[in-house]
Amino acid sequence: MVVPVSARLDCPLCGAVVVDGVDDIAPGACPQCGARYEGGEGSAPDAVAAALTAFGADALDPAHVTDAVFRLSPAESTACGVAITSDARDDFYRWWLFVRTGPDGDPVAVLASL
């Protein structure tokens, strides 16, 4: 039997509700600030590693990025445009890495600046 789950994800950079009440969350972008988010793994290091691959930032060290993003204060996250957060589900959650790049932005450059 499949138990339906209701998943919700809020943008850690601007506070907007990205998705709510869905069965599962797919990578995408914040409807308010445009930050892209990738990951969706059960642990933060796994989510960062998956996100780096999705952003084309394989050259970066996932352990370094994970460590750096958790050291950011909320104000620092907003300033540099990178934040990690977990979604909310009925009985578990997954981690997502948000990167805000602007119109011509390069997520690799943003992540490499951490």
Binding site for Zn ion (CB under 5 A): 11, 13-14, 16, 30, 32-33, 35
CA distance 99 to 96: 10
To the nearest whole angstrom, how small is the minimum distance from the Cβ of residue 2 to Zn ion?
A: 31
Please identify, using beta-carbon distances, which residue of 34 and 45 lies nearer to Zn ion. 34
Bridge partners, residue 49, by sequence = none
Please identify, using beta-carbon distances, which residue of 31 and 63 lies nearer to Zn ion. 31
To the nearest whole angstrom, how small is the minimum distance from the Cβ of residue 37 to Zn ion?
A: 9
CA distance 97 to 77: 11
Please identify, using beta-carbon distances, which residue of 33 and 114 lies nearer to Zn ion. 33
From the DSSP assignment, how many helices (H) and strands (E) are in the chain? 4, 6
